[in-house]
Amino acid sequence: MIVQRRKLLLLGASALAAPALVRSAQAQEMTLRLHHFLPPVANVHRHFLMPWAQKIQAESEGKLRVQIFPSMQLGGAPPQLFDQARDGVVDIVWTLPGNTPGRFPRIEVFELPFVADPRARPNALACQEFYQTHMREEFADVHPIVVWAHDGGVIHANRPVNRLEDMRGLKLRFPTRQAGEALRALGAAPIGLPIPQVPEALSQRVIDGAVVPWEVVPSIRLQELVSNHTEILGTPTFYTASFILAMNKAKYAALPAELKTVLDANSGMAAAEMAAKPWDEQGPVVRAQVERRRQNTIVQLSAEEKQRWIEATRPVVDNWIAGSRERGFDGAALLADARGLIAKHGA
C-alpha cells in the first residue's frame, strides 16, 4: 500500500514537472526582428539576409529565428536604422553608416575615391578585418554582426558620361559623404538621397542619375529610368559604400549561450564572405540583363581618362586625412592599412 502510494506521488510529480520542462525548452527559443530599407526583391535580401537567417535557424535546430522586415516596414526612415538597433526598437538592422554623414568617420576610409577593389569580396573582408582592429569604438553603441563593403559602383545617368567634362553639372544621387565629395570634385552636382527615393527623384527630374553598384539596379528599376551606364574598371575603382549588420547590445547579451554560439559562428569574417556574394554573383547577372536592353548603353572609362579622374579627386583624399587629425585619429595610417587589407584579400 505504501509502495503504491509512493508510485502515485512520483507519477504526480512527473506530471507536474512536465509542463515546467516544456516551458524551459520554449524559453530557449528566440525570434529576432531584422529591419532594412530595400524591398524583398532586392538581391541582398534574397541572396544574403534570407540565406543567413535560414542558416542560423538550421544550426540552432529552430531555436533561433530571424524574422526579416524589408522596406522599412517597422517604421522610420533609412537614416534612423542604426539608432533603431541601438535603442532596441528592433533587434537587428542592415544599414549604411553613410546614411548619417560624418557620424562614423573611420569607416569612410573605404569610401574615399579610388581606394576600393572592383570586387565585393576583397572589400568586404578588408572592411571586416579593419573593423576588428580600428572601429570597435566607432560602433560601440551596438553589437556589430558584420561590417562590409560592396563592389565598384557604376554611374547611371540620363546622358552619356565618357569623359570628365561630361560630369559637369550632372545631378547625381550619392550614397556616402565621400562619394558626394568625389562627385563634386569631378564637376557633378551631388545630391544625397536614401536609395528608396531614387526612382521618384528621377521621375520628377530632381536628379539626372545615381551612383550605385549593378546589384541594386533592378530593385529600384534604374535600368528603366536611365539608359547610360559608365563603369570604372580596374583596381582601384571609383568608389564603394560600406554596410553594417548591427544588433542591439542588450538583446545580444540576453541570448542563451548556445544561441550566442550559433550567432557568433555566423558573424565576422564568415558573414562577410556571405555578404559579398550578392554583388559578386548577382552584379554580373544584372549587368548582362541591362546590356541586352537595346535602349541601354554601357561604356567603360579608358585608362587615360580614369587617371584624370584620380587626379581630380585626389584633394578629397587629402582633405579627409587633414580632417582626421581634428577628429583625433591618423587618417593617413588608416588609409595605408585599408589599402593593404584590400590588396591582401584581393590577391
Reported confidence tier of residue 28, pLDDT bands at 50, 70, 90: confident
CATH class of 30-111+119-151+241-283: alpha beta
Q: List the CATH code of the domain at 154-239+290-346.
A: 3.40.190.170
Average pLDDT value for the chain:
93
**CA 266/CA 307 separation, integer angstroms:** 40
Give the residue extent of every domain in the chain: 30-111+119-151+241-283, 154-239+290-346
**CA 200/CA 169 separation, integer angstroms:** 20
pLDDT at 18 over 80: no
Helix (H, G, I), strand (E, B) or coil at 283: helix
pLDDT, residue 5, reads 44
Rounded average pLDDT over 223-247 = 97
pLDDT, residue 9, reads 40
pLDDT at 92 over 70: yes
pLDDT at 106 over 70: yes
The structure's pTM equals: 0.91
Rounded average pLDDT over 93-106 = 96
Q: Find, among 81, 138, 83, 88, the residue nearest to 109 by Cα.
A: 138
Rounded average pLDDT over 131-137 = 96
Helix (H, G, I), strand (E, B) or coil at 296: coil
Rounded average pLDDT over 110-127 = 98
Residue 63 in grid coordinates:
531555436
Q: Which of 9-18, 44-53, 146-155, 266-275 has the lowest mean pLDDT?
A: 9-18
Who wins on pLDDT, 19 or 162?
162
pLDDT, residue 197, reads 95
Q: Which of 12-21, 102-111, 158-167, 325-334 has the lowest mean pLDDT?
A: 12-21
Q: Find, among 203, 210, 193, 215, the residue nearest to 41 by Cα.
A: 215
Reported confidence tier of residue 13, pLDDT bands at 50, 70, 90: very low
Taking the alpha carbons at both ends of the chain, their separation in whole angstroms is 81
Rounded average pLDDT over 286-296 = 97
Q: Do domains 30-111+119-151+241-283 and 154-239+290-346 have the same CATH topology?
A: yes
pLDDT at 7 over 90: no
What sections of the chain are H helices per DSSP?
2-27, 43-44, 50-59, 81-87, 120-130, 177-185, 198-203, 222-225, 249-253, 257-265, 268-277, 283-292, 303-326, 331-346
Q: Which residues contact 38 (CB under 8 A, 6 or more apart)?
A: 44, 45, 70, 71, 195, 196, 216, 219
**Cα–Cα distances in Å, from 7 out to 18, 48, 49, 112, 256?**
16, 55, 53, 75, 36
pLDDT, residue 260, reads 97
pLDDT at 344 over 50: yes
pLDDT, residue 24, reads 40
pLDDT at 3 over 50: no
Per-residue pLDDT of 158-206, as tens digits, reads 999 999 999 999 999 999 999 999 999 999 999 999 999 999 999 999 9
Rounded average pLDDT over 257-271 = 98
- The string over 128-154, giving b where at least 16 C-beta atoms fall within 10 Å of a residue's C-beta and e elsewhere, is bbbbeebbeebbeebbbbbbbbbbbbb
